[in-house]
Amino acid sequence: MPENDSPKTVFTRNSTGLVKSITALDVLSFTLLAAGPMVLIPLGIEELPTLYEGVNLYLAFGIAIVLLLALSYNTVALSSTFPRAGGDYVFGSRVVHPIWGMVPSFMVLFSFVVGIGTLVPLALEAFFAPTFLTSYGSNSGVSTWVFNWIYGPHLNLAVLCAVILIILFGLAILSTKAWFWFVRFVSIYALVAVIAFLIYLGVTKQSTIFSNFNSQLSTGFNQSQVLANATQAGWGYPVAASALVTSGAMIFIFFFLAAPISAYFAGEIRNASRSMAIGMFGGTVVSWLIATVGILAIVAAFGYKFLSAFGFEALINTKVSSAFSPNALIYAVVGDPNVAFFIGLGLSFAVLGLVAAPMLPASRILFSWSFDRLIPTHFASVSDRTHTPVLSLGVVAVLTIIVASLDTYYSSVLGAFLATTVIVAIAFLPNGVTAAILPFRKKDAFENAPPIAKKRIGGVPLVTVSGLVHAVGFGALIILVFLYPAASGTSTGTFGSGPLAVVAVALLLSLIFYPIARAIRKSVSHIDLAAVYREIPPE
C-alpha cells in the first residue's frame, strides 16, 4: 500500500497480502468453466441457427480457433511478464496508458456484474428446472417443488438466486483454495456429462432420435408439429448464408470461448508462466474442441432446419420451461430419463460454474484499482486470516444479488444479452494492441520476461504477431457489428439502438473514469496518479 500521502513523496508499495495458492490444474479447470463450452453447446444449438439464421458454423468455428489461440498466447505472454493482480488493467496501464488499461477492466467488470446476476436465474429456469421436469415430469414430489419455487412467485426465485450467490461468494471470501475446489468439481462433472452425451450422439441413429422425440413428446409436439407451429408463429426458412451473419455469430461464440480472465488473478498463481501456459492453451483448445464437435454433431443429428424452428419456439416463449429446452433434445438422444438427468445436471452445473467464474476476477479488478488509488484504498484490504479481499468480493456480491433479484422480476431481453456479448468483445480487444507493442514500449520488462513471452518468428517477437492478429480480428468483428447491426441481431429483430446505446455508454464511462479519478485524487489528496503508472505493482 502507499506509505505516505504527502504530495512530494515517491509512490512506494508494500506487499498486496494475496498469496500464491493457485495451481496449473486450477487455471485449467477455471478456463474450462470460464470459456463455457459446456454452456455454449446447449445455448448454441438453439441460439445460433435461430438468432443467426444462415450462419456458416464451419467457417465461424474455423476462424474462431485462430483468434482464440492468439488471444491465449497474448494472455500468457502478458501474464508471464506482469504476473500481477489486475490483468488487463495492469497490462494496458503500464504498457500503453492508464485509460487503455481502464477500458477493458471497466467493461469486463460491468459485464461480470450483469452476467453473474442474470446467469443465476437462467441457470435455474433454463437448466436445473428442465433437468427435473423433462426426465421425471411434473408429478413427482421433487419436480413439483422445483416447479413451484422456480416458475412460481418471483420472490421464491429471487430468494434462491440470493442463496446461491451468497454461498458461492462466501466460498471465495472464506478461502481461494476452497473456491477452486468447487471449480474443479463442477468442471469435471460437466466435462464427464458432455463426453457421455457425445458418445450417445455418436452411436444413436437419427431415426431413433426422432422416434424418441416423437414418443416422449417433451415439448408437447412431435417433429413435424414443431416445424408447423414455428411457421405459424412467424418463423421462416431457409435464410441465405451471409458473411455478416457469420461475423455476428462469432461475437456470440467468443462470449463463451474467449476466457483470458485468469490473468486478473495472475499474482496468485504459482509459477505463473508455466501454469498460465498449461491452463490457457489447454483450456482454450479443449473448450473449442468440445463446443465445435458438440454443436456440429447435434446439428448433424437433428438438422439445421429443425433446430432453427426449435430455437425459435424457445425464443418466443416468455418463460423458459422444460418444453423447448435443450433437455428435450438430450432426452431424445439418450432415450433414458435417468441418463438424461445425469447429463442435464452436468450442464446445469456448468452454468453454475460460469456464474462463479467471474467472481475472483471481478474482485481483483476492484482490488487493483484500489491499489492504484483510483477508488478508495479499503478495496485493496486483504484479510490476514483468509488472504482474500473481503470488501471487494462483498461489494461485487451485493451488486450481483441486486441484478439477479431485478432479473427475476424483469426477465432479460435478447437485446441486453447481445449488448453484453459486444461489450465483452470490446473488452478483450485492447490486449491485442498491448501485446503487439510490448517489446517496443517496455523493452526492459520484455527482455526480463520468461522465455515463452520472448519467442520470435523470423526475428519478429511472436507476441507482436499474435497481438496484431488478435487486435485486427476482434476489431473487424466489432466494426462489422456496428456498421451492420442486423448481422448481430436476429431474423425477428435486429441489434437495435437500445443495445447499441448500452455499449456506447459503457465505453464512454470506461474512457472518462481515469481522468475523473485523477482529478479527484489530485484535488483531495494532492497526489498525481500519473506517478503510479511509472512502476509495476507488487505480486
| Each residue's pLDDT tens digit, 280-317 | 999 999 999 999 999 999 999 999 889 988 888 887 76
Confidence of residue 122 (pLDDT cuts 50, 70, 90): confident
Q: pLDDT digit string (tens) for 486-499?
A: 655 554 445 566 66
For the range 199-208, what are the long-range contacts, defined as Cβ-Cβ under 8 Å and sequence gap of 24 or more?
200/333, 200/334, 200/339, 201/297, 201/298, 201/301, 201/333, 202/297, 204/301, 204/333, 204/334, 204/335, 206/301, 206/302, 208/335
Question: Dihedral sign, CA of 225, 230, 234, 238?
Answer: negative
pLDDT at position 398, please?
95
Q: pLDDT digit string (tens) for 391-411?
A: 999 999 999 999 888 888 776
CA distance linking residue 34 with residue 483, whole number of Å: 29
Q: Which helix (H) or strand (E) holds 330?
A: helix 326-334
Class of domain 24-534: mainly alpha
Q: pLDDT digit string (tens) for 211-257?
A: 999 998 887 888 898 889 888 888 877 666 677 788 888 888 988 89
For 374-388, what is the mean pLDDT? 88
Confidence of residue 9 (pLDDT cuts 50, 70, 90): very low
pLDDT at position 521, please?
85
Residue 2 has pLDDT above 50, yes or no: no
Lowest mean pLDDT among 78-92, 415-429, 479-493: 479-493
pLDDT at position 5, please?
42
Instruction: Give 12 or 216, the one with higher predicted confidence.
Output: 216
- Write the CB contacts of 173 (distance below 8 Å, at least 6 apart in sequence): 386, 388, 390, 393, 394
Average pLDDT, the chain: 85
Q: pLDDT digit string (tens) for 251-280?
A: 889 888 988 889 999 888 989 899 999 999
Bond into 326 cis (ω within 30): no
> What's the distance, CA 490 to chain centroid?
21
pLDDT at position 320, please?
45
> Most confidently modeled of 127-136, 145-154, 389-398?
389-398
Domain residue spans in the chain?
A: 24-534
User: Distance of CA 277 to CAs 24, 187, 448, 449, 523, Å?
Assistant: 8, 19, 18, 14, 43
Rounded to the nearest 10 degrees, how much is the dihedral formed by the CA atoms of 134, 139, 141, 142?
10
Instruction: Give 464 or 414, the one with higher predicted confidence.
Output: 464
Residues in the chain: 539
Helix (H/G/I), strand (E/B), else coil: 96: coil
pLDDT at position 439, please?
95
Confidence of residue 432 (pLDDT cuts 50, 70, 90): very high
Helix (H/G/I), strand (E/B), else coil: 5: coil
Lowest mean pLDDT among 25-34, 48-57, 97-106, 161-170: 48-57
Helix (H/G/I), strand (E/B), else coil: 270: coil
What cell does 139 get?
Answer: 408429478
